[in-house]
Amino acid sequence: EAGFVWAYEFVGPKQRYSRLFRSHTVEQALGSTAAHSARMQQAPASTVQRMQEEAIPAEQERIREQVWKEAEASDRLVLGVDDFAIKKGHTYNTGIHNLRGETMLDVISGRKLDDLRAYALQHPDFRQLSPYAVVMDLAPTYHTWISECFPDAIRIADRFHVHGYVIESLQAVRKTVQSTLSPRAKALLKSQHRLLNPPKDTLTEESQKRLEILLSYSPLLRSVWEWKEAFSVWYDNSPNHAVALLGFDRWCRQGDQIDHVAVRATLKTMRHWKDAIVNYHRCRFTNATVEGRHNRIKAYQRRHYFTRNRSRYIAGILIECNRHRLLD
Question: Is-contact 116 145, C-beta < 8 A?
Answer: yes
Distance CA 193, CA 211 (A): 9
Residue 99 lies in a domain: yes
Question: Is the same domain home to 109 and 136?
Answer: yes
Confidence of residue 326 (pLDDT cuts 50, 70, 90): low
Question: Is the same domain home to 107 and 204?
Answer: no
Question: Is the same domain home to 111 and 191?
Answer: no
Give the per-residue pLDDT at 253: 95
Question: Is the same domain home to 244 and 100?
Answer: no
Confidence of residue 275 (pLDDT cuts 50, 70, 90): very high
Question: Is the same domain home to 202 and 244?
Answer: yes
pLDDT: which is higher, 149 or 304: 149
Range of the domain at 128: 69-158+286-327
Confidence of residue 7 (pLDDT cuts 50, 70, 90): low
Residue 81 lies in a domain: yes
Question: Is the same domain home to 216 and 148?
Answer: no
Give the per-residue pLDDT at 299: 79
Question: Is the same domain home to 173 and 252?
Answer: yes
Residue 260 lies in a domain: yes
Mean pLDDT in residue range 180-184: 92
Task: Share the mean pLDDT of the chain.
Answer: 87
What stretches of the chain show up as alpha helix (H) in DSSP? 19-30, 34-41, 45-73, 113-122, 124-127, 140-149, 159-178, 183-191, 205-215, 219-237, 241-256, 261-272, 274-278, 288-303, 310-321
Residue 323 lies in a domain: yes
Question: Is the same domain home to 135 and 176?
Answer: no
Question: Is the same domain home to 209 and 136?
Answer: no
* Residue closest to 114 by CA, chosen among 151, 148, 157: 148
Residue 58 lies in a domain: no
SS (H, E, C) 6-70: CCCCCCCCCCCCCHHHHHHHHHHHHCCCHHHHHHHHCCCHHHHHHHHHHHHHHHHHHHHHHHHHH
Question: Is the same domain home to 147 and 293?
Answer: yes
Give the per-residue pLDDT at 75: 86
Angle between helices 219-237 and 241-256 (to 10 degrees): 170
Residue 173 lies in a domain: yes
Angle between helices 219-237 and 159-178 (to 10 degrees): 170
The CATH number given to whatever domain includes residue 314 is 3.30.420.10
Give the per-residue pLDDT at 59: 78
Question: Is the same domain home to 151 and 200?
Answer: no
Residue 181 lies in a domain: yes
How many structural domains is the chain composed of?
Answer: 2
Residues with Cβ within 8 Å of 307's Cβ and at least 6 positions away in sequence, in order, are 313, 316
Q: What is the pTM of this model?
A: 0.82
Residue 305 lies in a domain: yes
Question: Is the same domain home to 102 and 239?
Answer: no
Cβ atoms within 10 Å of 1's Cβ, excluding its own: 3
81 φ/ψ angles, rounded to the nearest 5 degrees: -125, 125
Question: Is-contact 285 135, C-beta < 8 A?
Answer: yes
Give the per-residue pLDDT at 61: 84
Confidence of residue 13 (pLDDT cuts 50, 70, 90): low
